[in-house]
Amino acid sequence: MELKWLKRSEVSDKKWDDCINHSANGHVFAYTWYLDIVCDDWQAVVADDYEAVLPLPIKRQTFKGVYTPHWTPYLGIVNRRPICRSDAFNMLKAIPSFNIDLIMGTHNKLPGIKALKCESRRFAVLDLITEMSRIEKLISPEIKPVIDVYKKKKINIVRAMDATEYLDFARRPGLFTDNDEQTVLLKLIGFALRYKSAGLYAAYDERNELIAGSFLLKSDKKLSFIHCADVSANLEGVKAIIYHILDHNAGSNLTLEFPYYSDEIGRLFSASEHVCLVYKKGLPKWISLLNF
């Protein structure tokens, strides 16, 4: 493979996004528009004529290096055709940075002993290809009261919110403490809704009062549960939203993943999980070893 290191200004958006679109392991977090929103600057390692790409968000505070930005659960190598471990490792070695803290994609592997020693991120995932009756058997009994309320239409789910309305609601439970995070999320929701790459769901009670909201991103065959807000501590409205999504997408060639709310919500709906390895080098690696 011929490898090139490119600055953001040198990346062909069309070729890059075309690679993401036609890769079995492509995901929304690697699109140029998504990277442009979540990080101030990014570079890339590109193989051949965009046969495989590796996005590299650049962090310049504290220490300069490659990192995984907020609102980005994983990145890693995206490739049109299968690549061997040695080619994947060569792409990692081509990163022109001493400091690296990068969460790789779910299908990425690290070579040899590094894979045994590295950190990992795990999150719940549910395949929606089967019918709803089978999916319901996988759901925790804790969700049954929510399902009963939903089926009795005591909670109604709609997709009629805009980005500003959602963020205004999310601020009420006090979920945000970082204004920069709010700004980035607002941009993500606005852009994704405009290009029909997202779902913004709202849950209303019997008095037609807004009780919960959720933001999901869609790319090819994946639905990624990115953010939620709920007036109740047990997230009843959010759980009803997820059940609604399952009910309307059962039997489709989609996978629902919970990269941020796996323990609170995801594992109540599925026992399956994805594992993302964390590639660390330089200061991040030494810091993690000291903490261990």
Q: Give residue-wise pLDDT tens across range 191-202.
A: 998 887 888 999
* Residue 292 reports pLDDT greater than 60: no
The pair of structure tokens assigned to 95 is 């990163």
Q: Please report the pLDDT score of residue 175 as a whole number.
A: 63
Q: Is residue 279 part of a domain?
A: no
Structure tokens at 219: 């790319």
140 and 244 belong to one structural domain: yes
146 & 244 share domain: yes
- How confident is the model over 169-179, as a mean pLDDT? 71
101 and 184 share one domain: no
Residue 20 lies in a domain: yes
DSSP letter, residue 251: T
Q: Is the residue at 77 inside a domain? A: yes
Query: Are 48 and 140 within one domain?
Result: no
pLDDT score of 115 more than 60: no
Confirm whether 23 is domain-assigned. Answer: yes
Predicted pLDDT at 181: 83
Do the domain assignments include residue 282? Answer: no
Residues 68 and 144 in one domain: no
The band of 172, judged by pLDDT with boundaries at 50, 70 and 90, is confident
Q: What is the signed CA dihedral for 35, 14, 255, 232, rounded to 10 degrees?
A: 40
**pLDDT tens, residue by residue, 126-171:** 999 999 999 999 999 999 999 999 999 999 999 878 888 998 898 8
Question: Is residue 178 pLDDT above 70, yes or no?
Answer: no
156 and 97 in a common domain: no
Of 138, 135, 153, 137, the C-alpha closest to 250 is 135
User: What count of other Cβ atoms lies within 10 Å of the Cβ of residue 284?
Assistant: 20
pLDDT of 173 > 90? The answer is no
Look over the chain and give the mean of its residue pLDDT values, rounded to a whole number.
90
Core vs surface per residue 163-177: b (16+ CB within 10 A) or e: beebbebbeeeeeee
The verdict on residue 214 lying in a domain is yes
- Looking at the structure of the chain, the number of domains it has is 2
Please check whether residue 132 is in contact with residue 246, taking contact to mean a CB–CB distance below 8 angstroms: yes
**Domain termination residue (choose one: 56, 85, 117):** 117
In single-letter form, the type of residue at position 241 comes to I
Q: Which domain holds residue 225?
A: 124-273
- What percentage of the chain has pLDDT greater than the value 70? 93
The answer to the question of residue 287 being in a domain is no
Query: What local confidence, expressed as pLDDT, does residue 118 receive?
Result: 75
CATH code of the domain covering residue 209: 3.40.630.30
Residue 288 above 70 pLDDT? no
Q: What is the dihedral of CA 100, 101, 106, 111, to 10 degrees?
A: 50
Judgement on whether residues 141 and 230 belong to the same structural domain of the protein:
yes
Amino acid 144 reads K
Note whether 9 and 78 are same-domain residues: yes
> 191 and 269 share a domain?
yes
Q: Are residues 68 and 143 in the same domain?
A: no
Answer yes or no: are the C-beta atoms of 265 and 106 closer than 8 Å: no
Percent with pLDDT over 90 in the chain = 71
Q: 43-52, 104-113, 147-156, 256-265: which has the minimum mean pLDDT?
A: 104-113
- Tokens in use for 131? 């019918």
Name which of 89-93, 174-178, 275-279 the model is least confident about: 174-178
Going 188 to 192 to 195 to 197, the CA torsion angle's sign is positive
pLDDT at 180 over 80: no
CA gap 160, 276 in Å, rounded:
33
Same domain, 48 and 137: no
Domain termination site, one of 85, 117, 149: 117
Q: Does residue 129 sit in the same domain as residue 235?
A: yes
In a domain, 27, yes or no: yes
Residue 139 burial (CB count, 10 A): 19
Q: 113 pLDDT band (50/70/90 cuts)?
A: very low
CB 138 within 8 A of CB 277: no
